[in-house]
């Protein structure tokens, strides 16, 4: 494994893990202001995820494999299905908690789910860097953009569950470090086989799922025309960022 790939991977993952501290913004920014800015960021993140999947990752898969074959298609669908199952499991655990024990278990399950999600993100970023620096950078940017609204939400859940704000930030950062573990394992696997390339269509499916089922539905909660137009612009800006990265490459 080239040193440059290792350094780029872990440098990116450390930066992404540091985003777990963004939850602290909720303590200093007025809730109304934060909410207005957050929904635009959600739109931007959705566009970036879709842009990375369809503009960077899938064309790279088609180029490497001389076409998009059945295996790649199944792996793409697999990314959607795996994240669907993961979300179902987390929702099932939340809905089966006794009413008098909701707060602590919700915080625990949120940390477990966030850690697993970050672990997968780390593996995805590492796999992208083993293909090329360009795909790695684009994927790291897309992951970072959707991490910000997610980390803000995770911090809010922990505080609502009774966790002290300072401890909530540290716990969020601890789960963020799972990305580094995922990246390290992915690099080891990639150095022994071509499994990293199989992760690319899987990653595309995961990004499409996150954008279309977690982020875009949030945008539909705001029907006001002007705000909706701003969200559309945010979405297009996210896609445009991925196009700009492609042009830069």
* Mean predicted confidence (pLDDT) in 187-210: 77
Backbone angles phi, psi at 30, to 5 degrees: -60, 135
List the structure tokens of 83. Answer: 């994240």
Cα 94 to Cα 117, 139, 148, 237, distances in angstroms: 17, 30, 23, 35
| Helix H or strand E encompassing 4 | helix 3-18
Q: What length does the chain have?
A: 249
For the stretch 141-184, pLDDT in tens is 988 887 887 787 778 767 766 778 888 889 889 988 999 999 99
Q: Where in the sequence is the domain holding 180, given as residue range(s)?
A: 3-23+30-248
What is the per-residue pLDDT for 101?
43
Q: Find out whether 75 and 201 touch, Cβ atoms under 8 Å.
A: yes
More confident site: 170 or 57: 170
| Helix H or strand E encompassing 175 | helix 165-176
Backbone angles phi, psi at 133, to 5 degrees: -60, -35
- Residue 94 CA to residue 91 CA, distance in Å, equals 5
Q: Which of 31-45, 89-103, 134-148, 188-202 has the highest mean pLDDT?
A: 134-148
Cα 244 to Cα 43, 57, 216, distances in angstroms: 17, 15, 22
Residue 179 CB partners (closer than 8 Å, separation 6+): 13, 16, 17, 118, 119, 121, 122, 125
Quick one: DSSP state of residue 115?
H
- Residue 149 CA to residue 132 CA, distance in Å, equals 27
- Residue 124 CA to residue 183 CA, distance in Å, equals 7
Share the mean pLDDT of the chain. Answer: 81
* pLDDT higher than 80, residue 92: no
Overall domain count for the chain: 1
**Could you tell me which of 48, 9, 71 has the C-alpha nearest to residue 207?**
48
Instruction: Looking at 65-161, list the stretches that DSSP marks H as alpha helix, in order from N- to C-terminal side.
Output: 70-95, 103-131, 133-160
> Reduced to 3 states, what is the DSSP secondary structure of residue 163?
coil
58-62, 192-196, 197-201: least confidently modelled range: 192-196
């Amino acid at each position: 494994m080239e040193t440059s790939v290792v350094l780029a991977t872990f440098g990116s993952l450390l930066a992404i893990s540091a985003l777990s501290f963004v939850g602290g913004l909720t303590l200093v920014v007025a809730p109304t202001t934060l909410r207005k800015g957050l929904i635009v960021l959600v739109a931007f993140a959705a566009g970036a995820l879709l842009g990375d999947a369809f503009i960077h990752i899938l064309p790279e898969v088609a180029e490497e494999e001389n076409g998009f074959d059945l295996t790649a298609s199944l792996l793409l669908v697999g990314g959607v299905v795996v994240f669907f199952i993961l979300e179902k499991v987390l929702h099932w655990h939340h809905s089966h908690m006794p009413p008098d024990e909701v707060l602590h278990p919700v915080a625990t399950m949120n940390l477990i789910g966030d850690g697993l999600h970050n672990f997968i993100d780390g593996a995805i970023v590492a796999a992208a860097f083993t293909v090329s620096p360009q795909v790695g950078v684009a994927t790291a940017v897309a992951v970072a953009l959707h991490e910000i609204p997610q980390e803000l939400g995770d911090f809010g859940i922990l505080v609502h569950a009774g966790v002290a704000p300072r401890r909530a930030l540290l716990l969020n950062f601890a789960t963020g470090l799972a990305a580094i573990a995922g990246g390290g394992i992915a690099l080891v696997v990639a150095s022994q086989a071509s499994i990293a390339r199989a992760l690319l269509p899987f990653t595309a499916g995961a990004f499409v799922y996150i954008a279309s089922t977690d982020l875009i539905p949030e945008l539909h909660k705001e029907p006001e025309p002007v705000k909706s137009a701003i969200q559309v612009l945010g979405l297009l800006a996210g896609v445009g960022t991925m196009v700009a990265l492609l042009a830069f490459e």
